[in-house]
Amino acid sequence: MTTLLRSPVAHTTAGGRVFNFSAGPGVLPEEVLQEIQQDVWDLRSSGIGILEHTHRGVVFDQVIAEAIEDCRRLGGVPDDHEVLFLPGGATLHFAMVPMNFLPADGVADYVDTGMWAHKAMREAAKVGAVHCAFDGTKNHYTRIPADSEIQQSAKAAYLHYCSNNTIFGTRFDAPPATSAPLVVDMSSEAFARPHDIARHAMMYAGAQKNLGPAGIVLAIIRKDFLERACQNLPVMLSYVEHAKGGSRLNTPNTFGIYVMGRVFKWIERQGGLTAMERLNAAKARIVYDAIDVSGGFYRGHAQPECRSHMNIPFRLPTPELDERFVREAEASGMANLKGHRDAGGVRASIYNAFPVEGCRLLASFMGEFASRHG
Ligand SMILES: Cc1ncc(COP(=O)(O)O)c(C=O)c1O
């Protein structure tokens, strides 16, 4: 039998683990991971672990009710929005959004600010008519458009945007101005700062970055928007049916819902979304400063005014140095810094649960690496 042993590294998290810069599945709070270990064995003194509890029993009733309540309180979700836990990962919702909300005679506007936004638009085009309201490929996804640059259709069924560009590291400061119903893919920054949910007809987010494990999606949908949804879809593809079934249309990802609930509670303990935003901004600043003081040795992809606080992609002078940087960082206890396979370079993903110490370690490593190779 082979065992994967990690060589001892000089720097670790408070819990003795490596600093994980993965873009997703990403780092979860160590406190939550410890609670999970206990609850896998025995949840709420029921004598049964979370993985084994029926989704129709009283214990899981409490788990899901609490997760919804905590999500509402923490996220400032208005009463006229449904909170749903759905299957499929965000990619399924690239197709479900138009299947539910794009009528045969309608058009949906898409703001293309990155690879995920682009994929969402391509999926929608298989379902109905889409209009690319802003084409970010022309600026290599380095920036977010001003409202005046978004060419909206006269009567769009909805306008879709992706609030944080995981691959190229840009983000919308505020939702685009529109009179169309707003739909947002918030996968890589859900609950990393306060969100104006009331302005959105729908938000959805794959959980695996800020909220929990992969394979489950948090969706928040305004009830009057839901009323417009196509009524004639297979049940698993219908938001209306999922809402009617209370996110338990079939056997849901009970573990994912449970973990999200624990993460909501952890975020509240950190001071809520305003505190989270402050902390995330401070963490991002540490890494961006290391880029900015390097005299051009490190080049960030995003234009400075559009910089993401979650994902920081950058390049060194050559692809060989990119590779060497990632390798040496790994040996110092910093894992998963390789850029996205389609973007190359280096990418530091520093989600909610990523410790500030890891950002400091990265910044000091960047300074030291640049002085050796600059
Ligand atoms: C912004 C964004 N949207 C969608 C996705 C796809 O998510 P999933 O793999 O859950 O389908 C990702 C994955 O990284 C993402 O970052």
State mean pLDDT over 206-223: 98
Q: Which residue's C-alpha comes closest to atom 15 of ligand 1?
A: 187
pLDDT(8) > 80: no
- Ligand 1: does its nearest atom lie under 6 Å from the Cβ of 166? yes
Position 1 pLDDT exceeds 80 = no
Q: Is pLDDT of 3 > 80?
A: no
Judge if the beta carbon of residue 163 lies within 6 A of ligand 1. Answer: no
What is the arithmetic mean of pLDDT over 264-285? 98
* CA 260 / ligand 1 centre spacing (Å): 17
189 lines ligand 1 (CB under 6 A): no
The per-residue pLDDT for range 56-104, each reduced to its tens digit, is: 999 999 999 999 999 999 999 999 999 999 999 999 999 999 999 999 9
| pLDDT for res 22 | 98
Mean pLDDT score of the chain: 96
> Tell me, what's the pLDDT at 125?
98
Q: With 70 as the cut, is the pLDDT of residue 9 above it?
A: no
Contact 276, 267 (CB under 8 A): yes
Q: What is the predicted pLDDT for the residue at 127?
A: 98
Pocket test residue of 22, 91, 161 for ligand 1, highest count of atoms within 8 A of CB: 91
| pLDDT at 343 (0 to 100) | 85
Q: Which residues are catalytic?
A: 116, 185, 209
Query: Using 50, 70 and 90 to split pLDDT, how confident is the model at 184?
Result: very high
Share of the chain above pLDDT 90, in %: 95
Cα of 358 to ligand 1 centre, how many Å? 24
Residue whose CA is at the smallest distance from ligand 1 atom 7: 90
Ligand 1: distance of its center to the CA of 127 in Å?
A: 20
Question: Does 165 contact ligand 1 (Cβ within 6 A)?
Answer: no
Q: What is the mean pLDDT of residues 346-354?
A: 98
Give residue-wise pLDDT tens across range 139-151: 999 999 999 999 9
Instruction: Tell me which residue has its CA closest to atom 5 in ligand 1.
Output: 90
The pLDDT, as a whole number, for residue 6 is 60
Ligand 1 centroid–CA 202 distance in Å is: 16
Matching residue, tokens 């400063």? 289
Inform me whether the pLDDT recorded for 310 exceeds 50.
yes
Mean pLDDT of 348-352: 98
Q: What pTM was estimated for this model as a whole? A: 0.96
Whether residue 224 has pLDDT greater than 70 = yes
HEC-encoded secondary structure of the chain: CCCCCCCCCCCCCCCCCCEECCCCCCCCCHHHHHHHHHHHHCCCCCCCCHHHCCCCCHHHHHHHHHHHHHHHHHHCCCCCEEEEEEECHHHHHHHHHHHHHCCCCCEEEEEECCHHHHHHHHHHHCCCEEEEEEEHHHHCCCCCCCHHHCCCCCCCCCEEEECEECCCCEECCCCCCCCCCEEEECCCCCCCCCCCHHHCCEEEEECCCCCCCCCEEEEEEEHHHHCCCCCCCCHHHCHHHHHHCCCCCCCCCHHHHHHHHHHHHHHHHCCHHHHHHHHHHHHHHHHHHHHHCCCCCCEECCCHHHECCCEEEEECCCHHHHHHHHHHHHHCCEECCECCCCCCCEEEECCCCCCHHHHHHHHHHHHHHHHHHC
At residue 247, the pLDDT reads 98
Average pLDDT rounded to a whole number, residues 29-46: 98
Mean pLDDT in residue range 279-283: 98
